């Protein structure tokens, strides 16, 4: 019964806390260097070097990173995306040296968003060191992200 209630709440949050990708553009400079404990903003080229070179091997996902990671597909104009930002910044600090958190601007990196079939944002891609990545959509409570880090990424604080 508790699981059903949890799934209903998560579903409601997903419906009310997602943005469809339709436009908006903000060319602010973002942090793109890897510093432990911070969120790293990626371009498509950086994604191919740090996460997966989909041009080299488009059919088989092969994670290139040394630590599990989270990739947040976002847009500056998206309110739920702006709300998930501080949560991910906190998690980057709390899991410093254990996971890496990246952000990909869907307005600037349309091809990359399309590759992962991102239709609503925020879209959070969880990539364990080994195994398949999983995607969640919408703004979720910090506790849900912490649980996903434990369950999907297999990382403890």
Higher-pLDDT residue of 138, 4: 138
**Residue 157: predicted pLDDT:** 82
Mean pLDDT value across residues 40-44? 96
Q: Say which CATH number the domain at 69 has.
A: 3.40.30.10
Residues labelled catalytic = 78, 81
Query: 157 lies in a domain?
Result: no
Buried b (16+ CB within 10 A) or exposed e, 70-82: bbbbbbbebebbe
Q: Give the contacts of 145 (CB within 8 A, at least 6 positions apart).
A: 70, 87, 88, 91, 124
Q: Residue 149's closest CA among 63, 88, 74?
A: 88
Domain limits at 88? 2-151
CA distance 39 to 75: 15
Domain count, the chain: 1
**pTM of this prediction?**
0.80
DSSP alpha helices (H): ranges in the chain? Answer: 2-16, 44-50, 79-94, 110-115, 142-151
| DSSP, res 111 | H
Question: Does residue 9 have a pLDDT over 90?
Answer: no
Interval 10-31: pLDDT, tens? 343 443 445 555 444 443 444 4
* Residue 156, in any domain of the structure: no
Grade residue 45 by pLDDT with cuts at 50, 70 and 90. Answer: very high
Digit-coded pLDDT (tens) for 91-116: 999 999 999 999 999 999 999 999 99
Which residue in 9, 6, 13, 5 sits closest to 138, CA to CA? 13
* CA-only gyration radius of the chain, Å: 15
In a domain, 41, yes or no: yes
- 135 inside domain: yes
- 8 upstream amide cis, omega within 30 of 0: no
């Amino acid at each position: 019964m508790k699981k059903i209630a949890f799934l209903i709440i998560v579903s409601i949050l997903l419906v009310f806390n997602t943005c469809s990708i339709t436009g908006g553009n903000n060319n602010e400079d973002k942090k793109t260097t890897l510093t432990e404990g911070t969120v790293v903003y990626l371009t498509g080229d950086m994604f191919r070097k740090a996460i997966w070179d989909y041009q080299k091997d488009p059919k088989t996902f092969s994670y290139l990173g040394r630590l599990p990671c989270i990739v947040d597909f976002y847009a500056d104009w998206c309110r739920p995306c702006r709300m998930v930002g501080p949560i991910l910044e906190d998690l980057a600090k709390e899991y410093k040296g254990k996971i890496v958190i990246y952000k990909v601007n869907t307005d600037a990196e349309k091809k990359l968003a399309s590759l992962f079939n991102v239709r609503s944002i925020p879209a959070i891609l969880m990539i364990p060191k080994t195994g398949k990545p999983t995607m969640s959509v919408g703004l979720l409570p910090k506790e849900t992200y912490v649980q996903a880090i434990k369950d999907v990424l297999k990382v403890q604080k």
